[in-house]
Amino acid sequence: MILTNPRERTRFIHFAIVGAFGALVDFIIYNLLMNLFAVPVVLAGTVSFLTAVASNFTWNRYWTYPDSRSKKLIRQWFEFLVINAMGLLIRVPILAFLDPLMRRLFTGLQQLTHLSSRSPFITPNALGDNVTLAIAIIIVMFWNFFANRYWTYADVEA
């Protein structure tokens, strides 16, 4: 459907652009919470995720699916939120499981290569945290696109 239908292809591209902006919001909030406020990884990931969801809903409703108006705003927000909450249920175990592994991996790589960074922000832990978050974002993006397309924005013609 996406590759053969020009409208769906455009929607997917818009959704991906919105998602990239949401990912930027996600990374910024996540890193602020982790590095400036020492918030635990899962809590930081949850707060940053929900902030990105609010941004993504607004942009998707008005730019990706501007023709989706048969549903009331509150209902559409609820549906979007439910799908993203399910995405959060996918994301949290990924963060909890992969983060310690990625931190160890980057610590080991640093020790093997004898590299050290002069920046307090480019540490093995920061690299591990951000690689973990990127993996989680990519996995959840596919869930979000298809679930939202067929439920939240089901009123839009293909």
Flag whether 158 is in a domain. no
- Please enumerate in sequence order all residues whose Cβ is within 8 A of that of 113, keeping only pairs 6 or more positions apart, or say none: none
Flag whether 157 is in a domain. no
Helix, strand or coil, per DSSP, at residue 69: coil
Domain count for the chain: 1
Flag whether 86 is in a domain. yes
pLDDT score at 98: 95
The model's pTM is 0.75
Tokens of 75: 């209902």
Flag whether 140 is in a domain. yes
Flag whether 1 is in a domain. no
Walk along the chain (158 residues) and give the pLDDT tens digit of each residue.
Answer: 566 889 888 998 999 899 999 989 988 999 999 889 999 988 998 899 889 999 999 999 999 999 988 889 999 999 999 999 999 899 889 999 999 999 999 988 877 776 666 666 678 888 898 899 899 988 988 899 889 999 999 999 87
Tokens of 53: 């969801």
Flag whether 32 is in a domain. yes
Asked if 125 and 109 count as a contact pair (C-beta separation under 8 A), the reply is no
Flag whether 115 is in a domain. yes
CA 22 to chain centre: 6
Residue 28, domain extent:
6-152
CB atoms within 10 A of CB 117: 12
